[in-house]
Structure 1
């Protein structure tokens, strides 16, 4: 794993949930880590746990990836490192509302974090991977990317951007030895989902395990372009792919 994807990996959104699961799984494989997240205490706590458990080097970079300067700050903070694996997982939305009930600035923050910063970050770290002829990129996206959904318009649109971006880069970079994977998650047991549903203290049934999702993605990183976590046919078509676009949207919006 370190020969192909080391010696350093970045996990954007690496302080909890799926990102923390990726960080632990990568550290268990011997990859040194750069963890990126907004909340400093949670970020430092996650880094300390990984250092104690796995003995790898961990660098923390406190950043809000929805800001204009975040990709440049991340590039500067890692300029002395050889990054062989990038996991861009910083794309959740902790609230849900009809499109007009949210301010344009809220929508634009999602676009900045999930589209603009993702693109700039992948471009910066992907270029040296392609030159070296090895490396990997995982863009964590969502089942919300399959079709439009009420109350999730901008979130779903940004996740569709990530899905198509990853698939396109897989087509371009596989000849350069760089593996790219779009990891499509369904409802996953993360703090972000619990905040969205307003039930932080109550267990939810039927949710995917973030540890299993991260392990699955790393195991199948070379099986791109797309991996649908938890699916009976994870490398297959969209679950609404056989439907017309209208019927797919209606299937995503039962109300």
Structure 2
């Protein structure tokens, strides 16, 4: 018997950035409900290991697509690779920024790569995979964004801008597609226990990370509230509400989110 999730969003789900962390958690949650999954990521061996685990555990079909989502033809390639599948759920989870450094301390190609992955690829995926959902009158799209979208901040100007793009895109698509049977959710995450986040902490030389959200809990909450779009702020007392910085002026919000980086810079300058 099909589960409610499979009836609403099956028979296939695509998880972009599905090899570990939140993406892998989504893959397991979706597969546990009887939905076949397509895992998309750059690292082939990690991707195949995750696929083998899901097949063995849940008995669903699993396909893998080794793909760098920052290259210009990535999503057209993904569409070709899944052309024979009826995709009812698409989760775009790729797009972490491993190292937060000042804008001019990264080369231009790195910035452009991040924009292609977090903006152009997300928009193209929504277009290519959302159109058949809207035509069928059934489907779901989850865009994983970040608290960095709420305001600009030092050392993450481009990353925050791309995540704001994802947030606004999801809200707009929700408004357009809600009457066409397609659920759209911007999943706003804070500090989450993922390999990419821990790599970022290590690269910056930060100490213990403190309390982190569990990826399994994140994926479970997002799927449970997919129909409650356009936004779900994981861990917030008001998860469907607005920006937690809304009471501040834009200037004060930027200064606040830049505070930790500024403090660290000042300490380095004293050494």
* TM-score, structure 2 normalization: 0.92
Spell out, residue by residue over 1:95-153, the C-alpha distance to the aligned partner (whole angstroms, 9 max, x if none): 12100011110100000000001111110000000000000000000000000011101
CA distance in 2, matches of 1:217, 1:71: 23
The alpha carbon displacement at 1:203 in A equals 6.3
Of 209, 213, 217 in structure 2, the residue corresponding to residue 208 of structure 1 is 213
Q: Which ranges in structure 1 are unaligned for 5 or more consecutive residues?
A: none
The alpha carbon displacement at 1:204 in A equals 3.4
Alignment partner of 1:198: what SS? helix
Matched with 2:233 is: 228
Matched with 2:242 is: 237
The alpha carbon displacement at 1:241 in A equals 1.0
The alpha carbon displacement at 1:205 in A equals 2.4
Matched with 2:148 is: 144
Kindly indicate whether the alpha-carbon contact (under 8 Å) linking 2:201 and 2:209 is maintained by their aligned counterparts in 1. no
2:49 pairs with 1:39: no
Matched with 1:173 is: 177
Q: Report 1:47-196 matches (<5 A).
A: 47-196=51-200
* TM-score, structure 1 normalization: 0.98
CA RMSD of aligned residues (A): 1.2
Matched with 1:250 is: 255
CA distance in 1, matches of 2:141, 2:154: 30
Rg bigger for which structure? 2
Kindly indicate whether the alpha-carbon contact (under 8 Å) linking 2:22 and 2:219 is maintained by their aligned counterparts in 1. yes
Alignment partner of 2:97: what SS? coil
The alpha carbon displacement at 1:250 in A equals 1.2
Alignment partner of 2:13: what SS? strand
The alpha carbon displacement at 1:244 in A equals 0.8
Consecutive aligned runs of 4 or more in structure 1 exceeding 2 Å deviation: 202-205
